[in-house]
Chains A and B, each alone.
Chain A
């Protein structure tokens, strides 16, 4: 009897100790107890294993969105912040591999192209439910259909989303990305007699959706991964109108649901427990982040201070902190330099004398020391560019592919310019009297780059180039192809960032003189390019767009890039962007080069984070 009493008292003590040790790392506790054994008092020492209770708080990722997202509606998103937000809440048909950028299954498990490549059929997952966050209970709830079953995302939702994006009444900026779909452009521009029913997207059954294209397009699976194709809930949009993306109203299907959106200040999310791809639900997505707490800090140096104070798990590195980050023993380990699929370039106005002569363009291009620009001016580990599309884009030549033909070579540059001057019977002074102008939009970093290149032209060619700048929207107006020749600068600055990882999005959409904005004014019959003649480059890019054989496409794009950067020297590719980031050691992450960041794959060592933040 006594023994049982002793045992019970021991258990109670152990229980108390266990409670006191809650939320601690696993440990063993020594319990000392005086017990009566066979009529004598004995001191018994026992080792009790204390099992720690799992952390009751959700695993929280602290990030900086950077700015208030202009929208969370995937049909309207155009900027990286909106895409990042919408990408957590809505699944596209495909997604891009966060490491390689290749197209992978996402909402669609498989797809096939028809013979000829103008019809694509996607087969959808059948287990992704629509969910909604209940602001009153703080729980994520499944949306039920009329029969009380969870309402699954189906092919009709995809069809609706595509037609909605193309509907002129939706007024979506990125509707033009879907012009590749049959009648997409006609419907979006309100062509006579074309209705939503004529658009080449159709749900064959609940789980199969078919796209009919205007012309064969090998890159269509990449387009299908873009946010404008993500299924959206028709019934919610029709009931709530423009404000359908507010928490409590919005119905989503992605890994995270929006719980709170204080406009301009914070946007927070929570794990969607019904999402079938989580490992816990039998899927293969292993991220452990329960809550995304996202602030909107515009100022990079403030975000960096927040990071140093352990208030953010990852952030960008401001240029001013680069040297310190690289030399600091801790920060240098947390630093990572990830490629960003963007290219910075200087365009020539190809029909404005003297840049209507390829020798002048080549001379200016070869007189720029891009390596020195990257090392001494930019200092962010960028890659010098010798063509347009950065590595990671389908069809992009290897970096440096054309650097033999278009090297930094002041001697050759000078000779080319001299050849031109001799032919025209000009002296260098006459040339300088032309008032060559380089223009960029107002920004400190663009000004620095322009000043460096201006100096290179002065040193290597002896030419005087005037640098001017204008406010962004005024600037974009100035460099349009319709601006009279004497008002447009000779050389202008621009950049381009990826929408989908295919050369078509680069050389064709930007530089093809009928499909793109043709700011370079290539092949113009008149001064303001109301009429253009296709050049070899334009024909190559047209051809590559509809070519079915991937290898053949690569060859065509290689040739097109060569044509533009070397043969025509129509522009100067300067460098490929990088993102300089720091990440706390407790966060395991990827650096997806395009699309929304894959927070669903990220893993936080929660105990390490808590220990560091003192939480």
Chain B
């Protein structure tokens, strides 16, 4: 098991490299550059050239990529001084944990931006995930066990509703109802400001101030998730219940409760766990819509806005963070399989 994990983690490196390379090329292929225009104003070419020189966008693309990965000093060394690192040292390169400067937010580095926004997205995503699972799994189980009863129909109906009502509708409705009309909750923003516990978890998790801000966005994000989890759990459990080994368990005379809890549930969780991996990576890196509606300073918006701004390093940064989380989450999923299904072994 240990060797398997180590092997997988080493396998991350070529994946991350490939993602970095493809993203790097793709963003530069899109027409338009980060500094051609200020608003609707076309900037004189000389002005654009000054700014591009500052961010080394005048270097050949290969050297830009080398600089992104290994730093400006390596470029200067490898190109025998043809491309010089700037006086302040310039980018230290991804390999040394430097994601480079943001092209849009002058004076902020991509590392600063990710450090400031990722913890908030992580908290929100985690809360939404907890809501999604704690509603979705039980609802799915009940619906499956009471198949074709009113409980099943109600649960299915709510699940369909949850999937169909997008968060961009649910969010404003929640705001209108609980903040504007009833005045119970604040309209927007995330309650906590950095620092957080361990850099990720909210510092004042027990305070009402935190929850009053957190509850609406977490629900808006979590309900859609709970609906799809419920549907998946129901379908999977229904299938498992019809398996031969369940019939065997019943034939042995085990109580229905034991059959379901010990034999059926565990196996039916495999498809759920499978989608949990990518879902986790997606929700903890933020959601543009939820962040927009609730005015949350999360990372999700940067996935979209960095493309519009042609903020190459920021786009690369958030993409790589997402890739890394996805790889970790998928590894976790694979490890969970071994526990859920005894037939799966990693040696």
Contact = CB atoms under 8 A, between A and B. Distances in A.
Interface in A152-197: 168-176, 185, 188-190
A496 B40 contact: yes
A305 B37 contact: no
Nearest to A64: B295
A517 to B, nearest CB: 4
Contacts of A471: 308
A117 interface: no
B189 A295 contact: yes
B51 to A, nearest CB: 4
B138 interface: no
Nearest to A297: B295
Contact of A263 (B42, B88, B105, B180): B105
- In this complex, the member of A71, A302, A309 whose beta carbon has the largest number of chain B beta carbons within 10 angstroms is A302
B31 A473 contact: yes
A459 B180 CA distance: 44
B189 A263 contact: no
Contact of B176 (A303, A305, A496): A305
A53 to B, nearest CB: 28
Contact of B180 (A169, A308, A494, A495): A308
A171 B43 CA distance: 12
Interface string B84-106: 00001000000000000000111
Contacts of B30: 473-474
Contact of B106 (A73, A188, A302): A73
A262 B193 contact: yes
Contacts of A170: 50
B116 A264 contact: yes
B180 A301 contact: no
A282 interface: no
Interface string A241-260: 11111000000000000000
Contact of B43 (A71, A173, A297, A477): A173
B297 A302 contact: no
Contacts of A474: 30-32
B188 interface: yes
A477 B32 contact: yes
A477 B295 contact: no
Interface string B122-135: 00000000000000
A65 B153 CA distance: 47
A277 B183 CA distance: 41
A188 B50 contact: yes
B76 interface: no
Interface string B312-335: 000000000000000000000000
B179 A305 contact: yes
A264 B190 CA distance: 12
Nearest to A510: B41
A340 B178 CA distance: 35
Contacts, number: 143
B276 interface: no
Interface in A68-98: 68, 70-71, 73, 76, 78-79
B193 A305 contact: no
Given A262-B297, A296-B295, A473-B32, A71 B105 contact: yes
B105 A68 contact: yes
A138 B294 CA distance: 30
Given A168-B53, A309-B187, A476-B32, A173 B38 contact: yes
A303 B108 CA distance: 26
A263 B308 CA distance: 19
Interface in A284-306: 295-299, 301-303, 305-306
Interface string B35-48: 11111111110110
Interface in B111-164: 112-113, 116-117
B278 interface: no
A302 B47 contact: no
B179 A309 contact: yes
A311 interface: yes
Nearest to A244: B107
A456 interface: no
Contacts of A168: 50, 53
Contact of B108 (A79, A263, A296): A263
Given A188-B47, A188-B50, A477-B31, A264 B292 contact: no
B85 to A, nearest CB: 15
Interface string A489-507: 0000011110000000000
A265 interface: yes
A170 B46 CA distance: 13
Interface string B255-299: 000000000000000000000000000000000000011110100
A431 interface: no
B188 A297 contact: yes
A297 B190 CA distance: 11
Contacts of B293: 299, 301-302
A295 B295 contact: yes
B38 A79 contact: yes
A305 B183 CA distance: 11
A349 B30 CA distance: 24
B38 A473 contact: no
A477 B41 CA distance: 12
Interface in A489-531: 494-497, 517
B310 interface: yes
Given A299-B293, A473-B37, A477-B32, A71 B106 contact: yes
Contacts of B44: 176
Interface string B187-225: 111100110000000000000000000000000000000
A473 B29 CA distance: 12
A169 B54 contact: yes
Given A175-B47, A241-B88, A473-B310, A309 B180 contact: yes
Interface string A420-435: 0000000000000000
Nearest to B35: A173
A587 to B, nearest CB: 19
A80 to B, nearest CB: 9
A505 to B, nearest CB: 10
Nearest to A519: B42
B241 interface: no
B175 interface: yes
B40 A302 contact: no
B38 A302 contact: no
A244 B108 CA distance: 11
Contact of B39 (A71, A78, A241, A265): A78
Nearest to A515: B44
A134 B193 CA distance: 20
B40 A495 contact: yes
Interface string B299-314: 0010000001010000
B297 A264 contact: yes
A305 B180 contact: yes
A260 B249 CA distance: 64
A413 B236 CA distance: 67
Contact of B54 (A171, A473, A495): A171
Contacts of A477: 31-32, 36
Contact of A473 (B36, B188, B193): B36
A302 B180 contact: no
A188 B46 contact: yes
B171 to A, nearest CB: 9
A494 B36 CA distance: 16
A70 B104 contact: yes
B106 to A, nearest CB: 4
18 contacts: A70-B105, A73-B106, A168-B53, A169-B50, A171-B54, A188-B47, A189-B50, A262-B193, A263-B113, A297-B295, A301-B293, A302-B187, A302-B295, A305-B176, A477-B36, A478-B31, A494-B40, A496-B40
Given A172-B50, A480-B42, 7 more contacts: A171-B51, A173-B47, A190-B46, A305-B179, A308-B180, A311-B187, A495-B40
Leading 6 A-B pairs by shortest Cβ distance: A473-B32, A265-B297, A189-B46, A78-B38, A264-B297, A242-B107
